[in-house]
Amino acid sequence: MMDTRQKDLIDRYLAAYNTFDIEGMLAQLDPAIRFENYSGGTLSAETTGIDAFRQLAEQSKTLFSEREQRVTALAQKGEMLVAEIAWRGRLAADVPGGPPAGTLIEMAGRSEFTFGAGGIVRIVDRS
């Protein structure tokens, strides 16, 4: 049976992410948070600890004028909850050699959440 506390932590984390509320995101995390982002199977970003996560979150929020992660499915897998994610974001600035500001990017991915006494202790994003 899925732990409602853990599901609530994910819901609050994603609601804060969608509104660029970094303090709200951090409030759901264990101080020892480990974050990993994989794009096409390659590790593209990683942090350990709440301060490093905050720094990455601050950098990331400047890239998009709007963004949304929406859970399309949620399943328990051992100690973690795995969320299938529909993600979209609108670029806030031109990407050198890439799409211009205002471009809407959409993709599907998966986020794996592991929990500790202080909240979410590990997030692994895969797209």
Q: Out of 3.40.50.720, 3.90.76.10, 3.10.450.50, 3.90.226.10, which CATH number does the structure's domain 4-126 have? A: 3.10.450.50
What pTM was estimated for this model as a whole?
A: 0.94
CA–CA distance from 44 to each of 27, 63, 71 (Å)?
24, 15, 22
69-123: per-residue pLDDT in tens? Answer: 999 999 999 989 999 999 999 999 999 999 999 999 999 999 999 999 999 999 9
pLDDT of residue 3: 86
Q: Where are the domains of the chain?
A: 4-126
**13 burial via Cβ count (<10 Å: 0-12, 13-18, 19+):** buried
Separation of alpha carbons 92 and 11, rounded Å: 25
Structure tokens at 42: 């390659």
Give per-residue pLDDT as tens, 10-55.
Answer: 999 999 999 999 999 999 999 999 999 999 999 999 999 999 999 9
Residue 67: its pLDDT value, please? 97
Question: pLDDT > 70: what percent of the chain?
Answer: 98
